Structure 1
């Protein structure tokens, strides 16, 4: 996979907020996907500072949700990624559905980004009062 996503030219790990020493987890990445993180970013053990969860369909979001949220640090970021409409994947998931699900389950969205040519992602965090 490419080291930058979209037109900004920023490496994906920067867009996702992975910092030195961050614990990062990819959940259900598509075949061939690799996150080019600096050597000082570690996979580590739970809880994770940054999770990138790939959800091709709405059912995947529902199936992955509870376990993913439970794996986050208190101030961590949960990125939910879905196929872009332009990908031709035929997903029933989009940014609005991810946002609605997150808000209904206590997380708020703070950022959106292009993960790569196929996937978009929405950054979700706990509300400040819940940290």
Structure 2
């Protein structure tokens, strides 16, 4: 399904062929918004213990949820992967204490940096975080 810009959501999220994707606490209807995924994309509803995850999308409505999951997500990320934090837009009227500033305040001290924003759908906004280059482990 294309977003407001006409660009498919999977492309806005940076999902590419062969990627491992984790959807954490996603609304039941969310997977349907990823229509047209590239070949060999593996979607899980949790982090894989056997391999790092290329794209992680965590849905939160409260700051404490982000704080509680951050270390786990950080450990599960591929070194060049993306971690999207999704939270309800103000216009959605869904109760939340999350904003992009709150996401930065919680995540940046852990060695992450934000590099992209996107309107996921009518309800959810997203901020993409990546591991700072100087904090990435060398490729093996």
Using structure 1 for the length normalisation, give the TM-score. Answer: 0.91
Alignment gaps of 5+ in structure 2: none
* Number of residue pairs the alignment of both structures matches: 128
| 2:63 alignment partner in structure 1 | 58
CA distance in 1, matches of 2:74, 2:55: 11
Between 1:91-100 and 1:32-41, the stretch displaced more is 32-41
CA distance in 2, matches of 1:10, 1:58: 29
CA distance in 2, matches of 1:9, 1:89: 25
Alignment gaps of 5+ in structure 1: none
| 2:22 alignment partner in structure 1 | 25
CA distance in 2, matches of 1:18, 1:9: 16
**Which of 121, 127, 130 lines up with 1:122 in the alignment?**
127
Partner-residue secondary structure (3-state), 2:43? coil
Pairing 1:31-70 to 2, within 5 Å after superposition:
31-34=28-31, 35-36=34-35, 37-43=37-43, 45=48, 46-70=51-75
| 1:13 alignment partner in structure 2 | 10
Partner-residue secondary structure (3-state), 1:82? strand
Moved over 4 A (4+): none
Using structure 2 for the length normalisation, give the TM-score. Answer: 0.86
CA distance in 2, matches of 1:8, 1:43: 24
CA-based RMSD of the aligned residues comes to 1.3
Q: Do the aligned residues in 1 keep the contact of 2:70 with 2:107 (CA within 8 Å)?
A: no
Partner-residue secondary structure (3-state), 1:43? strand
Between 1:68-77 and 1:35-44, the stretch displaced more is 35-44
Partner-residue secondary structure (3-state), 2:30? coil
